[in-house]
Chains A and B, each alone.
Chain A
Amino acid sequence: MGRKALYDEAAKKKKGPGRKAKKQKDPTFAFKLDDEGVSKKLSHRQKKRAMKRTIKKTEQLEKKNKKKNKGKESALLTSELVTVKGKNADKKLSGVPKNSIKPKPFTDENNSWLKPKKKKKEASDDESEDDVANGVDGSDASQEIDEGSDDGVGEEASDGSDIEEDASDEEDGSEQEEEEDGSEEEDGSEDEDDCKVGKLDDLIDDEAVEDDGSDEGDEESADEESGSDDEDMLPIEKAAKKLNQQQAIEREEGENELQLNIADREIFAFPDEEEIEKPLGIPETEQRIKDILMVLSNFKKFHDENRSRTEYIELLKSDLCTYFSYNRFLIDRLVDLFPLTELMDFLEASETQRPMTIRTNSLKTRRKDLAQALIARGVNLDPVGKWSKVGLVVYNSSVPIGATPEYLAGHYMIQGAASMLPVMALAPKENEKILDMCAAPGGKATHIAAVMKNTGTLFANDVNRERAKALIGNFHRMGIINSVICSYDGRHFTKVMTSFDRVLLDAPCTGTGVISKEPSVKISKDEVDVQRCCTLQKDLILEAIDAINPKSPTGGYLVYSTCSVLPEENEWVVDYALRKRDVKLVETGLDFGNPGFVSFRQFRFHSSMKLARRFYPHTHNMDGFFVAKLKKFSNAKFDTAKDDKSEPEVKDVDFIERTSDSEQESSEKPAKPKEPKVKAPKHGRGKNRAKVSLNGDDPTLAEKFPRKKEKFFAQAKPARFKVDGTEFAPKERKNKVPGGEDDIESRSTSKKNKLKKQKLEAKLAAKKEALAAREKSAEGSSDTTNKPQGKREAERADKSKNDARTMAPSAKPSPESQSVNKKKWKKNKNDLVPPESASNVTNGQKADESGKSSSPAQRDSGAKGVQKRPAENGLETAAKKKKKNNKKGPQQNSNPAQSSPGNVKVVSPSETSGSPQSQLAKSKKKQKKDKKKAQNVEAGLKTNSTQKTVDSHKKRKTKPAKV
């Protein structure tokens, strides 16, 4: 057996499906569909339809031909017409009975002209009339043709008519030849009528006619069409049609409106003053916010030419205030803090609650077990994220999360996700001594204890006793046994205990990061609140650092955290701590979160600030938080050197305020640094000199006072010269051109002091007159005209120095008596040698110098003079302050809250400037502080002693440990 090998065929054969699945061949039919073969006999109706088709075809053809020939027709010869006729006849010959129009049944297609029964009769009457009339015309035409064409054409025609006759005989014998001819003619000649009918009849005709480009207007036909349609429509159809039309209209309107809206959006018109004043609805406000944001997103493109960006932002701020119901201050801060898009995210995220998170108490249970127990109670939860091994997010719960038996048994703590971060950053170790300075209600503190596994000691402190009660409850519930809970002012905690391995300072803050939790923040906080918080935080952070043991083998760390997003409460405070104590920022150990600001607007923070971490509600879906970790290296306190700037370096501070201040004190400011040098040697010459030079050179200062730049340097430079003044003066004198720069400088400085001085001038006039007169007499009359101004002034100054010395700081000798030089004097009023500069110059030199008449000397002295007064003022005030302090001393000690915050001014512009004045003030403050500290220590000792008396000997025993 086996298969036969068909070698030849196998190659050819196409491999198909198996034998049994052989493909069926195409079917073959006995009859042929095509007209080639014998066609199947048509049914009656089929025949009718076929007739109709053919008639239509012929009609269309005729029409076409007519159209084509229309123009020509009139001019054409009859012979041609005959041919046309012949053609027609031919067509008729092709099998369609000519008068087949009549028996047409009533259909939808022809209903317009073919009416059922009654109407039909009338219609047929009309038609017959028409036919008669047409027939006449037609006969005429035929006659014409006949007349015109005597030749064979006539035969043809007759042939045609014969055929027609046959046809008519077949179907409708009643009709006459003529009529038939006429009707035929009618079809042809009366094109218009036909066309109309055709149009009304059916679409095919319609199209055909349109194709032909009939003369009739489309409108007419359309109207007719609709009219005719309406007549015959069912009510429901009519309604539907109406509805369609309405919808179309609406759609159109809608589109128009949309376009209008788009147009509105594209061109956001800045509202007028009045419009801004008007209260706006919430949705409108929202729209406007969006509009403004869009404008600001591409300011160049969209902004109104007449409006500046600040105006837009102002409007945006006010709108945000109304829309989110913030107060203006907070919105200002937030706008400063976030880019605009992020701002919206932040504000919106602050409206919605963060998901509830719980922290497993690892002392009592495991996360897995807890999750199971809670799921059994109908709680839907998930781990909070990879970063935490104890956190769980609760999505929804059928039972109150804060009252489950598991909660009461201390298996978990309800705590924001962000609150776990500081503890993670702190990374407590077992058997350490740890302090939580602001512990209530104990979320973080219990977390610390749990991480420590109940070993070591945890001090949980909170200043508020009421809140501390929450601490008790939570600590006991969570089963923490290594804790000491106390209520103490954190700013003085070092009195209780120091040498902690780690300190967590979750400082009290304005809470701008937890607006979703506490919406009252939106309107309740203002500048003062922030300042207070900031001050408090600075005190707390210093105290916290002081409480750390830098030599701790395991720790020596401080974690500073707040639930605020404002840099004033975060970076600024940390920056302050970096200046004041020997600490450095270290990695927090949190692998997410935004880095802290190194620079924020005009503030420049320490470059390591990027190690701090910021968390935002809109980016991390947790409360706004700030976490910074500091390592303490020694107990050193930089109260002096680094104290210069109690605030972060400021670049380009609020300009308006600054200038107004500085204008008032313009002449005074530069003088200050010198003052302590000369008159208050306590402060150390070298140090002060450094400050001065810093002031002169520091480019940041120049930026600070861009408008006054020239002035500032004009003053600052001489000030620097003055430091080395005595040495360089002679050299410069030689080179100096008298009355050049000096005058300009002095003029600039003097202008503002003119008024003040003039008053004093009057008082001093008498003395000076005398002096001047003496001078004149000595030098001779020539100097009034020929001598360079500077020289004269120098001489005068030198001579009047004694008087000047006696004068009050602002008092300058002005030689009013000399009417001739009055103006010049006024110009150089400030160039008078002030007491210090004068003191630099010995009496012996005086004469020589005056003889040489050096302008640099004057400049120096002048600068000194200008700067001198304020310095003296400063000193005086400082002295006063000192006195005050001495008086206040005890009080301040008694009120601990005041003492330290009082020293730290937060945003006083004079301080921020880092100007010599402020430095002076600070140096004074420093002294103050030292004193206070001494007093504090005394006070502390006192309290200790009292405690001792009250307390048992135990205390005394432990005391050395504390020290």
Chain B
Amino acid sequence: MKVLNEEQTSKVFDKLAKYIGDNIKLLLDRPDGKYCFRIHKDRVFYVSEKVLRMASNVPIKNFISTGTCIGKFTHSKKFHLHITALNYVAPYAQNKIWVKPNAEQQFLYGHNVLKSGLGRITENTQKFQGVVVYSMNDLPLGLGLAGRSTAECKHADPLAIVCLHQTDIGEYVRSEDTLI
């Protein structure tokens, strides 16, 4: 359990900013106490300091997880968001995509969202911006990248990809072992 170094911090924040933009501030200044980022075995945890204090009692070899794991650093030192970060990303997301019920299942199996499955999309979404994918009844389903900007979407082919799949909640079942 280490504090993130400068480089790591910037990478993490950059990534988060893709999805939640300026709302990162809200993650850091919370009314319910101080929260912080910690790294353990390349996994980045976002956790309340109170809990962290207790968690530091656990020997490293026995430690598994605390708070919320938001992602991991790959071997090439890139930062990947995990589906587990959805809890924090979804409420603050700036760009959202709603998928139709029949496309919902597709997305949960790890596929991209096509124009035909697109229900709604936030205005002013830029191309390749991070988006949170919602079902039509406002259930966050996962994270992705906008394949088209909002304007492009309107005129796109029905089979054009409007959202590139990054991670989805189907992974809780599909890849439980490699979740974090």
Contacts and interface: CB of A to CB of B under 8 A. Distances in A.
Given A484-B51, A485-B66, A408 B169 contact: yes
A958 B58 CA distance: 11
A520 interface: no
Nearest to A479: B87
Q: Which of A473, A947, A951, A955 has the most CB of B within 10 A?
A: A473
A950 interface: yes
Interface in A940-963: 947, 950-951, 954-955, 958, 961-962
B21 interface: no
Contact of A476 (B53, B59, B84): B84
Interface stretch (A56-64, A170-178, A214-222, A399-407): A399-407
Interface in B16-74: 47-48, 50-51, 53-60, 62-69
B169 A409 contact: yes
A537 to B, nearest CB: 21
A488 B62 CA distance: 6
A635 to B, nearest CB: 19
User: Is the contact region of chain B dominated by helix, strand, or loop, or is it mixed?
Assistant: mixed
Given A405-B169, A409-B140, A481 B58 contact: no
B64 to A, nearest CB: 4
B110 interface: no
B176 interface: yes
A565 interface: no
Contacts of B179: 469, 472-473, 476
B165 to A, nearest CB: 15
Given A433-B54, A481-B47, A405 B141 contact: yes
A955 B57 CA distance: 7
Given A405-B108, A433-B54, A962-B57, A477 B62 contact: no
Contacts of A402: 173
A957 to B, nearest CB: 8
Interface in A474-499: 475-477, 479, 481-488, 496-497
A459 B177 CA distance: 20
A769 to B, nearest CB: 71
Given A473-B172, A473-B179, A485 B64 contact: yes
A521 to B, nearest CB: 25
Contacts of A468: 64
A457 interface: yes
Interface string A449-485: 0000000010100000100111111011101011111
Interface string B123-149: 000000000000101011100000000
Contact of B64 (A408, A487, A951, A958): A487
A433 B63 CA distance: 18
Given A479-B87, A481-B48, A469 B177 contact: yes
B56 A958 contact: yes
Given A409-B140, A433-B54, A459-B54, A486 B64 contact: yes
Interface string A203-224: 0000000000000000000000
Contact residues on B (Cβ < 8 Å of other chain), bracket: 35 or more
Interface in B95-124: 104, 108
Contacts of A472: 64-65, 69, 179-180
Contacts of B169: 405, 408-409, 477
A405 B168 CA distance: 10
B56 A408 contact: no
A486 B58 contact: yes
A409 B65 contact: no
B51 A405 contact: no
A497 B139 CA distance: 38
Contacts of B69: 472, 476
Interface residues on A, range: 35 or more
A373 interface: yes
Contacts of B47: 481
A961 B84 CA distance: 31
Given A408-B170, A481-B87, A470 B60 contact: no
Contacts of A954: 1, 56
Which secondary structure dominates where chain A touches chain B? helix
Contacts of A486: 58, 62-64
Contacts of A403: 173
A98 to B, nearest CB: 102
A484 B180 CA distance: 15
Given A472-B65, A472-B179, A457 B51 contact: yes
Contacts of B83: 476
Nearest to B70: A476
A958 B48 CA distance: 16
Nearest to B176: A473
Contacts of B63: 484, 486
A687 to B, nearest CB: 39
A60 to B, nearest CB: 91
A402 B1 CA distance: 33
A546 to B, nearest CB: 15
Interface in A395-426: 402-403, 405-406, 408-409
Contacts of B66: 483-485
A409 B139 CA distance: 7
A496 B59 contact: yes
Contact of B54 (A457, A477, A950): A457
Contacts of A470: 176
B129 to A, nearest CB: 23
A482 B48 contact: yes
A551 to B, nearest CB: 18
B58 A496 contact: yes
Contacts of B68: 476, 481
Contacts of A481: 47-48, 51, 67-68, 87
Contacts of B87: 476, 479, 481
Contacts of A477: 169, 172
A738 B65 CA distance: 80
Nearest to B61: A487
A477 B57 CA distance: 25
Contacts of B59: 488, 496, 947, 951
A63 B171 CA distance: 104
Contacts of A465: 64
Nearest to B139: A409
Given A405-B141, A477-B169, A496 B57 contact: yes
A483 B64 contact: no
Interface in A485-543: 485-488, 496-497
A951 B63 CA distance: 13
Contact of B139 (A405, A459, A955): A405
B79 to A, nearest CB: 18
Contacts of B54: 433, 457, 459, 484, 497
B180 to A, nearest CB: 6
Contacts of B51: 457, 481-484
Interface string A922-953: 00000000000000000000000001001100
Nearest to A483: B66
26 contacts: A405-B139, A408-B141, A408-B169, A408-B170, A409-B140, A409-B169, A457-B51, A465-B64, A476-B68, A476-B84, A476-B179, A477-B169, A481-B47, A481-B51, A481-B68, A482-B51, A483-B51, A484-B66, A486-B64, A496-B57, A496-B62, A497-B57, A497-B58, A951-B59, A954-B1, A958-B57
Interface of A: 373, 402-403, 405-406, 408-409, 433, 457, 459, 465, 468-473, 475-477, 479, 481-488, 496-497, 947, 950-951, 954-955, 958, 961-962
Closest 9 A/B residue pairs (Cβ): A408-B169, A476-B84, A484-B55, A485-B65, A485-B64, A486-B58, A484-B66, A473-B176, A488-B62
Given A405-B108, A484-B65, A486-B64, 10 more contacts: A405-B169, A408-B170, A409-B140, A469-B177, A477-B169, A477-B172, A482-B48, A484-B54, A954-B56, A958-B57
Interface of B: 1, 47-48, 50-51, 53-60, 62-69, 83-84, 87, 104, 108, 135, 137, 139-141, 169-170, 172-173, 176-177, 179-180
